[in-house]
Amino acid sequence: MTHVTLDAAKTMIDAAEDRAADIDVPMCIAVMDDGANLVAFHRMDGALLASVDIAQNKAYTAVTIELDSATVGDLAQPGEELYGIGGTNDGRIVTFGGGVPLEVDGDVVGAVGVSGGSVEEDVTVVEAAVEAFEP
């Protein structure tokens, strides 16, 4: 099985930081392996302090549920199958965009989470990180 290496994490962080700089929004970027262990973390100068935990929790959500955090949010609405999940896992499940699982041949091998801007800005930046993932 492929793992998320530190080199791969650094490449994703660089791509995310570049995109965040392009939109002029300082971000926190977290990369986790398939066991929800932090491989690398980066806080850009000026990024919100709250975003430190949020970015890590977005990555945690994506790797443990094997869905992007926006999809988890859709499924966590009243009447949906994951309603109430946001209160589980010591409150670590995030139900809005910015966390994406990393897949190789259909297997989740890790995740990246980004926080610091609006949800739309976070999604833009996390997409840059995912595009840069090379196992």
Q: Compute the C-alpha angle 110/4/46, nearest 5°.
A: 80
Quick check: is 1 in a domain? no
> What pLDDT shows up at residue 89?
95
CATH code for the domain of 62 = 3.30.450.150
Question: Block means of pLDDT (10 residues each) for the chain, length 135 residues?
Answer: 91 98 98 97 98 98 98 97 95 97 96 98 98 94
φ, ψ (nearest 5 deg) of residue 33: -90, -175
Q: What is the pTM of this model?
A: 0.96
Quick check: is 126 in a domain? yes
In the chain, the amino acid numbered 89 is: N
Classify burial at 114, counting beta carbons within 10 Å of its beta carbon; exposed 0-12, middle 13-18, buried 19 or more.
buried
Domain tally, the chain: 1
Quick check: is 117 in a domain? yes
> What pLDDT shows up at residue 129?
98
Range of the domain at 13: 6-131
Quick check: is 106 in a domain? yes
Nearest residue to 97 (alpha-carbon basis) of 134, 76, 117, 71 = 71
Name the token pair of 119.
């949800």
> What pLDDT shows up at residue 101?
98
> What pLDDT shows up at residue 63?
98
Quick check: is 110 in a domain? yes
Quick check: is 66 in a domain? yes
